[in-house]
Structure 1
């Protein structure tokens, strides 16, 4: 573990496991979680000899509860700060949900040689909110509801989301894991309410179309068809089409949090892509 201080004085916490000369993989977590959400994948890749890094986004987890910077440009700049501090090159960047947006924004602007590949899992690009140019998106009222619920009772909201749509535990026959629910709540409540509130705008309204078009490294787009948080049809397939070197892998019936509910499927698939 370690920290990096950004140019605006924000402290970014990160975990860095494995051999220094191992191929680096950097993980980018979703809202409103932390690098801990990647424990399963980090242990898996660590066992395969990789160097694995996961940071807590500003205002999330153990990073500073900053007053500003809760938007994608700053998130990407914070990633750059970590990458440069560790002098990482040839990195595979894997992002989930909001973290996928962060990956798209960072990789599109990264210094040549820093990035080898990228993976967008259940990710928010190209853009989530509905508009004339994105008729399949979710109405702004959905995200207004997120903000209102968070402000009214964040602790209860952070129980209801993982108990229901995030992991698909609201589906008939779903195998519910109380541990996943409790761990989601633990990670969420450790972060800052202001950062989580403002991040809703960042993940829902940021348009990553031009970022995706600029990315020339191989990108795997992985998305579950029963994603109730980032609907499949307005995300995965559209992102894959915009990427010059993108590939879509769909997971029939899998939920938004499929990395946690189906790691025995996702982890080998991620490894296969990394090893190509």
Structure 2
């Protein structure tokens, strides 16, 4: 997904007097689609270049899913005294993939399947992925076709190389040391029915590593920020920024 995913939150924040900026990471949305640099270190360096170009200070960083990893790495390795607070939702840290040091993680085969789906027929892959992404495959789910189609639209804006490489970036990057290095307040939000980034492997572990953390688990909420989950999360984001 790209910066367009945050339009509701950007309006909410702007309506309350804050300056709200969303960017499209390289390979995504309206950004350039370079062959190289589709990795978490470069994503964070790109964000640092944007922040420095605009000379942004007293920043509250907000990131969802892969973006949650991006803002954590930026804050730990580039943020310095520019960052005031961090907010993540359904974020990938500390590390997703299963390994000898992370036996509870997701097997690499699951991420290989994502890469295969992107290569074979990415348009259909994104249409299918929208259902678990928003929890539309659950009984009683109320997710509009429009929301699913917008997920597909944003996915189709990603260049093939960027999409393929991003799988490794979000699944294999280890953010453990980054989380330990954070010294600003962090709000960690996660749905307990997240089918994309399992709660136990991400937010619960993150909360154990960060010095000053507020963890909130949203009952029944999926990975995608939508509906009642979005309304509750947006209220909490605004409250955390004000606190």
Regarding TM over 0.5, the answer is: yes
Of 258, 263, 271, 2:225 maps to 258
Higher helix fraction (1 or 2): 2
Residue 144 in structure 1 maps to residue 108 in structure 2: no
| Alignment partner, residue 69 of structure 1 | 37
Closer, same or farther: CA 81–123 of 1 in aligned 2, 3 Å: same
Shift of residue 259 of structure 1? Answer: 4.8
Query: Is this contact kept in 2: 1:124–1:203, CA < 8 A?
Result: yes
Post-superposition offset of 1:46: 1.0
Q: Does 1:232 align with 2:199?
A: yes
Q: CA, structure 1 residues 262+231, in 2 after alignment: closer, same or farther (shift >3 Å)?
A: same
Following the alignment from structure 1 to structure 2, what is the Cα–Cα distance between the partners of residues 141 and 261? 33
Deviates more, 1:216-225 or 1:183-192: 183-192
CA distance in structure 2 between the partners assigned to 1:111 and 1:57 by the alignment: 17
Corresponding pairs, count: 243
- What is the aligned-residue RMSD (CA, Å)? 1.0
Question: 1-side partners of 2:92 and 2:151: how far apart?
Answer: 19
| Residue 83 (structure 1) shift | 0.2
Of structures 1 and 2, the one with the larger relative CO (CA 8 A, separation 6+) is: 2
Q: Distance in 2 between matches of 1:273 and 1:110?
A: 23
Q: CA deviation at 1:275?
A: 0.6
Calculate the TM-score normalised by the size of structure 2: 0.98
Aligned to 2:134: 167
Please give the per-residue CA displacement for 1:196-250, whole angstroms capped at 9, x wherever unaligned. Answer: 0000000000000000000000001100100000000111110011001112111
Query: Which of 34, 42, 45 is the equivalent residue of 2:13?
Result: 45
What does the per-residue CA deviation read over 1:73-113, in whole Å, with 9 as the maximum and x for residues that have no partner? 10000000100111100100000000000011000013432
Are the equivalent residues in 1 in contact too, given 2:45–2:78 (CA < 8 A)?
Answer: no
CA offsets per residue over residues 34-68 of structure 1, 9 Å max, x none?
Answer: 10000111111111111000000000000001010
Q: How is 1:60-99 mapped onto 2 (pairs within 5 angstroms)?
A: 60-99=28-67
In structure 2, how many angstroms separate the alpha carbons of the residues matched to 1:133 and 1:259?
A: 34
- Give the whole-Å Cα distance in 1 for the aligned partners of 2:196 and 2:129: 9
Shift of 1:260: 5.6
* 1:188 CA drift (Å): 1.0
CA distance in 1, matches of 2:67, 2:198: 16
Matched, 1:56 2:24: yes
**Alignment TM-score, normalising by the size of structure 1:** 0.86
Structure 2: state its 5+ residue gaps.
none
Judging by fraction of residues, say which structure has more strand.
1
Given the alignment, which residue of 59, 71, 84 partners 1:116? 84
Equivalent in the alignment of 1:191: 158
The farther-off stretch of 260-269 and 121-130 is: 260-269
SS in 2 for 1:68: coil
